[in-house]
Structure 1
Amino acid sequence: MIRCYFIFLLLWLGLNSYGQDKTVDLPYRQLTKEQWQEDFHALYDSLRTNHLNLYHFTPKTVFDQKYHAIFNEIPKLSNEQILLRYKQFVSLAGDGHTMLSDPGDFHRYPLDFFIFGKQVILIQSEAKYKQALGLRLLSINNFPITQIRDSLNSIIDHGESKTYLLKQQTDRLGVYEYLSAFGFISNRDSAVFEFQDGKKTIELKVAAIPAHQSVDWQWAFRPLPLFLENGMEPSTPIAHKSIRSDTYYINFAGYPSWEDFEKVTTTIYDSLNHQKAHKIIIDMRLNGGGNFDKGLKLMLPLFLNYNALHPGTSYYVLIGRRTFSAGMSNAVHFKDCLNAILVGEPTGARPNGYQEIKWFKLPYSKLEVSCSLLFYSFQQKNTDGVLPDKTIMPLFKAYSEGRDPALDWILKRTSTQEVSRGRR
């Protein structure tokens, strides 16, 4: 009887602890200041040894000055502040492939923002905070959002495009540890987010959750625009369907395995031939990168073969701030090889820049750092992102009504207009 009671007690304790936020005891939390300094030295040494051209954006003198300043400051800093300094240091490299990964025990607020023009708008949230969906963020704990964005800029590499900065700001806006290290938040479980609601403001007290915890996102957009139907990070990297009798739509959001990629391109090819579509839309606004060889060796030949059977097919590629790395590269491949029209906003990645990363771990903290190994050039001029042929910036009002101005522009183009551009 005692044994049964003991078992039930263990079960009760287990059930009541299920789902609670237990801080993972990661190595970086146990470091001495001397170990933090040794890791920082290893960080700089590894970047100098492995990066193809570490000082391409920031001069060596500035790197060295920053290194000595942070090294001497470490004994006075908390763990979160040290991580912040590490992040600021790595960002000096100026390319999006050289980065310090967030530790696995970080936390975030279940709010997802997007910057439309100059306004930071809440586009997704956990259900309990849905009353703020679609509203403009004014402050966090009474700190103006402009001040917070300026601070976040110090941990973002500035060698990519302006749209890349916008995406990186919103990615970091919900990370508790960074907001805390900057001094904006002291209580992880009760941060006050202030929003503009017409002529009045509303305040939400929001609790952070483990960064890896899944969220049942509620959207500010009803219905969702086509490219967001499977979320901002769709589990199906390549979705496709006919959206009109003459038009086929491919949401190329990521890179599955070689085997799965080949299967999906075969399916797309068969569908195109069955429909005999003469307008093909490749949506790459959610494509943050992967292996561009897959797009070059599997998807591009698909379209070239289709062109041989159906000459005069028109191609459009939708691009935006999340189009990065391999996504940017393949967008340029499609433009160059298919005479595709690029539509949307400039890509997050510049056309000429550093890619192909090597990862390494710091000896004591085990923090993971990457650096760029190769330089690719996809244009003669290194513009501020790959620039669209037709610029159509995201509009909140349109998205909130389920409309997609960039896609609508493509669908409204007539055969005559396409012929005049040499597309047919």
Structure 2
Amino acid sequence: MNYLVRDWDQAVELYGRLSDLNPTVGLYWYRLGEALLRSKQYEQAIAPLKKAEELGSFQSTPPRMAHRGEVACLLATAFAALGEQEEARRWTRTALDQGLRDITKLRSAEFAELLEDPAFCKLVWQTDTQNLSRDEGYRHDLRFAVHELKRVHFSPFRATSEADIDAAVAKLEAEIPDLSEDEILTRFVAIISLFGDGHTRLQTATPQLPVRLFRFPEGLFVLGATSEHADLVGARILRINNCAAEVALARAESILPRENPMMPLWLSPSVLQSITMLRGLGIAPAEGAVGLQIEDASGQQRTVQLVAPDKPPWRGNLTYAVAGRDDSPPEYLRHLDKTMWHEVLPDGKTMYCQLNGIGHGTKTFQKYFEALFEEIEKGEIERLVLDMRFNGGGNTFLNPPLIEGLIRSEKFREPGNLFVITGRSTFSAAINTVGELERRTTAILVGEPPSSPPNFVGESVGVPLPCTGWEISISDLSWQTSFPMDYRVWISPTIYAPPTAETFRAHRDPALEAIFDYVRLNASPAG
């Protein structure tokens, strides 16, 4: 705890004792070295940091670690503070080569003397950007972004060759003077997508339409809308301005990564919700409202003009009730404002739990599932439906209370009592969780496949771009939560029950219907 609250003097004493008692644990040496460095005992910090670099620093329970390049960065800092410039340069290069997540750590006060050297400034991208022109500012951020993507990404050229990436960058650099900001941003997105995974992206907020779109087999539809546009829910999008919906979707797909065929189905509607992207793709005019030609749930066609609402739309503040219906939407669309919630379904024997994220902190997550399993054990519940179709991830390290609770419960040891619903929006930490459920429990997976493989390159390392104020996210980890020979493009559902516009407009849930069909077909004669 002394380390976590940054009481460096006590941390030095504690981790000094721990490293003496067990010199095989690299994390002890790492924390001792950092505590010494932060208390300005630079020379004494070097030996334990070198030991940490030799052993590696990781602890699984609770998860604690030094990411790639962090120990080398601390060594560079210590040598820089001591005035040993050659060693500082050597460890700086090591940290960069290892993929240090935050390059700005190599520009701290300890590096002041080195930062007087133009060569070192170039090495750590210390650049005065204040007086750059518009075009040079964009070019600087493009070069810096691609440099960091190549340096930090776990496998930068697995989807696109370096030569092809460089050619796309050179083309954009040359065309920047003739492009609007919206077009430049969209081209940035396209270049970043060449690195091939859904975590690596431009994560900058842009003005959004007041609707949430979804691709069904029947076409592009309005899944949800702000209250002012509730009459659009259930409508099919025919055209966006003068662009047919199919053409707009193809343009959206052209700037997206593709880990498997589900990913463009998931992400392309999000692109078309962004007014900036619509303009950058040439679908919407540079100014003014966005026109949607729709066919509503009653079959009537009309055109509506939409602008970005004052309050940014979010899945939790939209309505999902199809216009013209007086019944409630199905369970999976009722509480998207909540990370996790549950209820007993009308049959009295099925607990439905929707898990929309792996988050809210260790204690909250643990208490929630402890309470849920206690409720299940005490009642007449026979089966659990865990709905993860809209779970975009979070923190994989938080899922043990869920996984272990299911394993402990006698109610879920027989097949047919535990169902997990997945979909195209199941991603990241949710993929890891579904993979564990597939391997370690009797879960029957229902719905449609997720948008990435069970083993994937992921993580969200944020890198701010100084001139534009945009931020990119870089994947620097390879998540191997399945077996090393698992080359599937997705975790397939046992029961395939994809969403359709027909069932959505009828306020039906094909996944939940498929589960109850399975239960009825497999019920014992006595039941």
The verdict on how the C-alpha distance between 1:334 and 1:46 changes in structure 2, with shifts beyond 3 A counting, is: same
C-alpha displacement of 1:326 = 0.7
Shift of 1:312: 2.8
How many angstroms does 1:286 deviate by?
1.2
Measured after TM superposition, the shift of residue 417 of structure 1 is 2.5
Distance 2:171 2:286 in 1: 29
Task: State which of 60, 65, 89 in structure 1 corresponds to 2:167.
Answer: 65
Alignment of 1:222-261 (within 5 A): 222-231=327-336, 234=337, 236-243=338-345, 244-254=347-357, 255-261=359-365
5 Å-filtered alignment, 1:254-273, equals: 254=357, 255-273=359-377
How many residue pairs match? The answer is: 384
Q: 1:188 to 1:384 in 2, by over 3 A?
A: farther
CA distance in 2, matches of 1:264, 1:173: 36
Kindly indicate whether residue 515 of structure 2 is the aligned counterpart of residue 410 of structure 1: yes
Q: In the alignment, which of 182, 197, 202 is matched to residue 100 of structure 1?
A: 202
Aligned position for 1:195: 294
Alignment of 1:10-409 (within 5 A): 32-103=134-205, 106-158=206-258, 160-186=259-285, 188-197=287-296, 201-209=301-309, 212=312, 217-221=318-322, 222-231=327-336, 234=337, 236-243=338-345, 244-254=347-357, 255-295=359-399, 297-307=400-410, 311-312=413-414, 314-377=417-480, 378=482, 380-409=485-514
Q: Which residue of 1 aligns with 2:100?
A: none
- When residues 213 and 149 of structure 1 are mapped into structure 2, their CA distance, relative to the original with a 3 A threshold, is closer
Displacement after TM superposition at 1:211 (Å):
6.9
Q: TM-score by structure 1 length? A: 0.84
Partner Cα separation in structure 1 for residue 148 and residue 439 of structure 2: 37
Q: CA deviation at 1:311?
A: 4.4
Residue 219 of structure 1: how far off its partner (Å): 2.6
Deviations 1:311-361 (A, max 9, x none): 436211100011001111101111111121110001122222101232111
Equivalence for 1:4: none
Tell me, yes or no, if the aligned pair for 1:288 and 1:323 is still in contact at 8 Å.
yes
Distance 1:276 1:304 in 2: 19
**Alpha-carbon separation, structure 2, partners of 1:126 and 1:248:** 30
Q: Report which stretch shifted further, 125-134 or 140-149.
A: 125-134
Question: Is the radius of gyration larger for structure 1 or structure 2?
Answer: 2
| Structure with the higher fraction of residues in strand conformation | 1
Distance 1:230 1:416, change over 3 A: closer
* Offset at residue 249 of structure 1 (A): 1.8
- Answer whether contact 1:108 1:211 (CA < 8 A) is retained: no
> Please, what is the CA RMSD of the aligned residues?
2.4
Any unmatched runs of 5+ in structure 2?
A: 1-128
Alpha-carbon distance change, 74 to 416 in structure 1, aligned in 2, over 3 angstroms? closer
What amino acid is the match of 1:389? T
SS of residue matched to 1:219? coil
Q: Is the 8 A contact 1:108 1:210 kept in 2?
A: no
Determine which structure has greater relative contact order: mean sequence separation of CA pairs < 8 Å that are 6+ residues apart, divided by chain length: 1
Question: Which SS does the other structure have where 1:137 is aligned?
Answer: strand
Mean Cα deviation higher: 331-340 or 395-404? 395-404
Structure 2 Cα separation of the partners of residues 211 and 46 of structure 1: 33
- How big is each residue's C-alpha offset from its partner over 1:351-384, in whole Å with a ceiling of 9 and x where there is no partner? 2210123211112223111111111232534333
Aligned residue identity for 2:438: K
How many Å apart are 1:202 and its aligned residue?
0.9
Q: Quick one: which amino acid aligns to residue 262 of structure 1?
A: Q
CA, structure 1 residues 311+84, in 2 after alignment: closer, same or farther (shift >3 Å)? closer
What TM-score comes out, normalization by structure 2 length? 0.68
Instruction: Say if 1:88 and 1:44 are closer, same or farther in 2 by CA, change over 3 A.
Output: same
- The structural deviation recorded for 1:411 is 2.1
Structure 1 portions without partners, runs of 5+? 1-26, 420-424
- Can you list the C-alpha shifts for 1:195-248, whole angstroms capped at 9, x where unaligned? 1356652111222235735695333434211111113xx2x2111222233322
The one-letter amino acid of 1:126's match is T
1:159-202 residue CA offsets vs partner (Å, 9 max, x unmatched): x2222211211111121111112222226442221013566521
| Aligned equivalents of 2:228, 2:353: Cα separation in 1 | 34
Aligned residue type for 1:326: A
Indicate how the Cα distance of structure 1 residues 280 and 369 shifts in structure 2: closer, same or farther if over 3 A, else same: same
Q: Secondary structure at the match of 1:262?
A: helix
Matched-pair contact (CA < 8 Å) for 1:111–1:125: yes
Q: What's the CA shift string for 1:109-166, capped at 9, x where partnerless?
A: 11221111041111222344344332211111121111211111122111x2222211
SS in 1 for 2:477: strand
